[in-house]
Amino acid sequence: TLEDCKDDSPDSTVTVHTVAAASELSLRRLVKPKIEVNNEESAEEEQMVSFPQAYVNQTRDWIANLEETIVQKEVELERRDAEFAVVKEGLMAQLEQYRCEMAERPTNEGNLNTNMEVEIAKKVVAIKVEPLREEVEDTRKLNKELEGNAESLHIYVRRLEKDRADAKQRSIEMEKEKEEAVKAKEKMEMENMKMAVEVANLQAKVEELRERLELGTEILRSTSSENHFGAMEALENRLRDAEKARRAAVLQVMEWRPKYQEALSTCDELARSRAPDREKIKSLEQSLSRKRE
């Protein structure tokens, strides 16, 4: 019968819920991609972030248009259901009329009655199901396009994660270099302090020898003994040796001073060069956070 044809036909069971379910499945795959991201890490420059953001905005527009299209199709299907109900009533009335006419005709015309019911059922299926088939096919094509865009987003996010890992590795290396520079700076400071202490000790010895020399000179002035002259000469020799040692220490300090200044400059340069990497890592973290959302 016409009711059996409508209820049991595989094509007639396609409804707007099938279209909505297929669209919803595709939207889930696009909007919630399964990407494992470490929430404690993250980085990238603004020009790299703007490219995937355009993808995301375009995809959101497609999703909004698809939802609007689904709503419009639901309204259209409701209207067609109403039209179909009117057509169905008319066809059912014609069918009853034909049945009555066929009942009055001889038995050998029963096949004509059956063929007429089949033609009516085909018309009903064409009115109800064929438009739905076209809608389902369009929705499938759109879903494939959205899935392709989602895969492009996945690829770009993986590239962002690789760049973030590289930036983190560079940051670790910069941190190690900074620590080594700080250690070298501390070592230079210790050596400089030792040299300063040695210079101070030598200067104290020189002062002591000068005092002794002055004392020996006074003694020589008061006496004319050869032994006193020998003592004076020994004091002068010790004074000259002390003065040479002091000058050598001063030269060594002057020699170490440029290296110390160079170490300080290296530390400052490392600190300045690390600042852009921190900003880059922070930018990558923000970018990946937006991608996760």
Q: Considering all CA atoms of the chain, what is the largest pairwise distance in Å, rounded to the nearest integer? A: 174
State mean pLDDT over 148-176: 83
User: pLDDT at position 230, please?
Assistant: 67
User: pLDDT at position 57, please?
Assistant: 74
Instruction: Output 40 or 145, whichever has higher pLDDT.
Output: 145
Cβ(159)–Cβ(283) under 8 Å?
no
> Helix or strand or coil: residue 171?
helix
Residue 50: pLDDT band with limits 50, 70, 90: very low
Cβ(63)–Cβ(6) under 8 Å?
no
- How many residues are present in the chain? 293
Per-position DSSP letters for 41-76, written without gaps between them? -----HHHHHHHHHHHHHHHHHHHHHHHHHHHHHHH
Gap between the terminal Cα atoms of the chain: 54
Q: Judge whether residue 32 has pLDDT over 70.
A: no
Percent of all residues in the chain with a pLDDT value above 90, rounded to a whole number: 0
C-alpha span between 271 and 209 (Å, rounded): 48
Q: Convert the pLDDT of each residue in 201-229 to its tens digit.
A: 888 888 888 888 787 777 666 665 555 56
Amino acid symbol at 225: S
Instruction: Output 138 or 45, whichever has higher pLDDT.
Output: 138
Tokens in use for 206? 């020189």
State mean pLDDT over 9-30: 42
State mean pLDDT over 95-107: 68
User: pLDDT at position 3, please?
Assistant: 42
Q: Judge whether residue 268 has pLDDT over 70.
A: yes
Q: Judge whether residue 137 has pLDDT over 70.
A: yes
Please report where in the chains the tokens 């909004």 appear, as a residue.
64
Q: Judge whether residue 163 has pLDDT over 60.
A: yes
Q: How many CA atoms lie within 13 A of 48 on its CB side?
A: 20
User: pLDDT at position 39, please?
Assistant: 44
State mean pLDDT over 3-25: 41
Residue 235: pLDDT band with limits 50, 70, 90: confident
Residue 55: pLDDT band with limits 50, 70, 90: low
State mean pLDDT over 72-93: 79
Q: Considering only 126-130, 170-174, 206-210, 279-283, which range has the smallest mean pLDDT?
A: 126-130
User: pLDDT at position 227, please?
Assistant: 56
User: pLDDT at position 176, please?
Assistant: 87
State mean pLDDT over 167-194: 85
User: pLDDT at position 31, please?
Assistant: 43
User: pLDDT at position 143, please?
Assistant: 75
Please report where in the chains the tokens 């007639």 appear, as a residue.
12
Average pLDDT, the chain: 70
User: pLDDT at position 228, please?
Assistant: 55
